Structure 1
């Protein structure tokens, strides 16, 4: 059984019916978390993740403004530090289980992650970037100033990681370093970075998500066993989103953006099914980037409206296979009854 199939088999139950899943989840008692802000009035918030202290700057003024396009990314939400802690757990700390994305090599030191709707906190970038090759955070342009401030002021937590690279990725490393250096010099409104983290604006309705990595100059060319260069990898290992689904208007563009990002890698095809092939590294897939691991989406959200959740899931099931992450894999802080949900998606 290949790594991705094994991961999906152990992560939790596959979801096949949006209405049934919504009823099951929202018929349970859900603790009140108000809208889900940590503290919408504070300008700074101190917190600790895996014994690392962070100070996060946020903007209550911007949150309460009438800015067109929304302002929810201006403050820190309760689910974000919980997901940052869960996703970044790649060692046995405090008797907690290693995150299954790491144990099944979905995430490795050479991985590239893209985050949708990062908001101002940069917490996921801060906690994950020391463990991977590249972290690309995306959101609307208005969050960039505070995102960069939080990234810069907590920069002592970020250590550049090139472990796990080999001769196959040496060209990519040189190219990526140049791209990151260029990103740090670009004017506001363009990509900016710190270490191996880049922030760039991405409008789910107007921008072409499929050209994101290519536009940042981060595409890598790998060398196959035959010594010949393969096509550039324009895709991502993991797409992560934390609490981005809270009204109907966002559902279609959000799902479309996730799908566009995932189409840059092979579609997941279970071993033994028609047209399946086992690619390099034990992953199955066909189509673009043959041999590369299909992209895995991790979608975390707070339980609010069952109608919005069901609309999201119904739209998602049209193009993705979906698994709800089990309590055993999530741990106490995110398990059933916490008011939070985590689903894993792979493109059909």
Structure 2
């Protein structure tokens, strides 16, 4: 659970957006942060079945990860261990290397189901790399352990689930639920499962652990085709044998249909917390490049309100394509008891300062 120390109203890196100034805000963002070449609307490639993705880890992240894991330098003559060599050893940072499978068949099909999630869109790796930087606005929301995250519209790439699992592996705790429509889940599950191996290798390099921590999952078994009914639920894990093992993160891939937000969310909670009415809140809701179609704006905002509690931090990253759709989203959110703040572009990475927008959203607890 995240400590309540993040105050968007006093954070100078954020600017609050009100219903009265949405139009002015949109005009300003498109004037100052005008998108560069649309780059095929934002997809990285629609001709490659597999894409390599590299996410840079800054030296400060490596240092903090080592300190958090208790890694220290060789024993001194006095028998004491010290950590003073970390900064020089971590001066070059590190990299997460992923291989992302895409479904070109689905992308080019005439299916009535959504096909946009069949390929990787550029905002996801850029957003992941930015958040993983210790000086980023939202970095501290993810550290500290036992953080519950749900991602909306994850598509098939699983980049965010794989990248942000690094926080959870290092703390050996937490929950990450990647969601999308049912027909996208098999490839999403495949990508996440494969790239968690890269995350574990990175942890091994950082901490020098010969046996990096594993993860629990009830929806990523090899033979799973539908959502489970008799899998290793969190309640079933509370056995003496499991309690004797080190705590490890839980990573899930589940269906969430925005047009059935309430029933989908209820089902997700029943899978995560079977046989009990007591459920944990989601600490963080993430959505990348989910604001692109005006038809989907109302159900998307309803979904945000459904999955979030009054304490939930909602992070929305988008590529700036249509000022009309972006304005409609902000208006819809602000009209439905959500408070919105805009991350000022000078606090984004260089790759995101033009053509991208990131919003921080909280439920309005005063209504």
TM score, norm. by length of structure 1: 0.74
Match of 2:165 among 129, 139, 152: 129
Measure how far apart 1:81 and its partner are. Answer: 0.6
Is 1:324 equivalent to 2:342 in the alignment? yes
Query: Within the alignment, does 1:188 sit opposite 2:234 as a pair?
Result: no
Q: From 272, 277, 280, give the equivalent of 1:234.
A: 280
Rounded to whole Å, the distance in 2 between the matches of 1:327 and 1:35 is 20
1:8 deviates by: 5.7
Tell me, what secondary structure is at the counterpart of 1:48?
A: strand
Deviations 1:5-54 (A, max 9, x none): 26862331111122111111223432022311101111011121121211
Equivalent pair of 1:46/1:56 in contact (CA under 8 Å): yes
Q: SS at 1:321's partner residue? A: strand
- Cα shift at 1:207: 4.0
Specify the alignment match of 1:341 in structure 2.
357
Match of 1:43 in 2: 49
Give 5+ residue unaligned stretches, structure 2: 57-94, 169-173, 202-214, 233-247
Partners of 1:207 and 1:327 in 2: CA distance: 32
- CA pair 66-182 structure 1, distance change in 2 beyond 3 A: closer
User: Which of 168, 173, 196 is matched with 1:155 structurally?
Assistant: 196
Whole-angstrom distance in 1 between the partners of 2:269 and 2:162: 23
Query: What is aligned with 2:317?
Result: 300
Determine if contact 1:213/1:234 at 8 Å carries over to the other structure: no
Query: Separation in 1 of the partners of 2:107 and 2:10?
Result: 38
The aligned counterpart of 2:272 is 217
Q: Secondary structure at the match of 2:110?
A: coil
- 1:256 aligns to what SS in structure 2? helix
Aligned to 1:26: 30
3-state DSSP of counterpart to 1:100: coil
Deviations 1:172-208 (A, max 9, x none): xxxx95xx34763784232699962111011111242
Q: Deviations over 1:104-139 (max 9, x none)?
A: x46532101100000111100001013131110000
Once the two structures are superposed, the pairs formed by residues 1-348 of structure 1 within 5 Å of their partners are: 3-5=5-7, 9-16=11-18, 17-28=21-32, 29-33=34-38, 34-50=40-56, 51-90=95-134, 97=135, 99-103=136-140, 105=141, 107-132=143-168, 133-159=174-200, 177=216, 180-181=217-218, 184=221, 187-190=224-227, 196-208=250-262, 209-211=264-266, 213-218=268-273, 232-262=278-308, 265=309, 267=310, 294-318=311-335, 319-335=337-353, 338-348=354-364
| Count of residues in Structure 1 that have an aligned counterpart in Structure 2 | 283
SS in 2 for 1:252: helix
Q: TM-score, normalised by structure 2?
A: 0.70
Shift of 1:261: 1.2
Using the alignment, how far apart are the partners of 2:183 and 2:25 within structure 1? 35
Which 10-residue stretch deviates more, 180-189 or 39-48?
180-189
After superposition, the Cα gap between the structure-2 partners of 1:7 and 1:48, relative to the gap in structure 1 and judged at 3 Å, is: farther
Secondary structure class of the residue paired with 2:350? coil
CA contact (8 A) 2:8 2:14 kept: no
Secondary structure of 1:341's counterpart equals: strand
Larger Rg: 1 or 2?
2
